[in-house]
Amino acid sequence: MPARRKARKRALDVLYEADLRDRPPVEVLAGYLERIAKPHPEHLGYAVSLVEGVAQHLDRIDEIIASYAEGWTLDRMPVIDRNLARIAVYELLYVDDIDDPVAISEAVELAKQMSTDDSPRFLNGVLGRIAEYATR
């Protein structure tokens, strides 16, 4: 698994736990980092930046997802899909060195592995519309 995909998976783990436990992502991240054996893997830095970035911009990210997820509220989305979308939207809007198609395809690939059969198509559509918005 490529390093950035591993980082996204770790970020998803933290955001998923924070979402389920209704805790701040940065607080869950701190506990997560304590549990990881040292030395930490190289990709962990990117995972931390994803979690911190999503946490910092969470309200705006959720607002954007909600406005582009036609017929779906954030609460109705599967927890994995919601958090994959958050990571991808953060990358689309705030990470300059990640191309939009890469951010979208990484979210879709993780959805194929970890979520419902409909999730990859759903995320691809929502994130594609958001990417169009982001490039304006």
> Scanning the structure block, which residue is given the tokens 């509220």?
73
What pLDDT was estimated at residue 136?
A: 61
Total domains in the chain come to: 1
**CATH number, position 23:** 1.10.940.10
Instruction: List the chain residues with pLDDT less than 70.
Output: 1, 136
Residue 10's domain spans which residues?
3-134
In sequence order, which residues have a C-beta less than 8 Å from that of residue 102 and are 6 or more positions away?
none
Q: Give me the pLDDT at residue 36, please.
A: 87
Q: What is the pLDDT of residue 71?
A: 86
User: DSSP letters along the chain, please?
Assistant: --HHHHHHHHHHHHHHHHHHHT--HHHHHHHHHHHSPSSPPTTHHHHHHHHHHHHHTHHHHHHHHHHHSTT--GGGS-HHHHHHHHHHHHHHHH-TTS-HHHHHHHHHHHHHHHS-TTHHHHHHHHHHHHHHHHT-
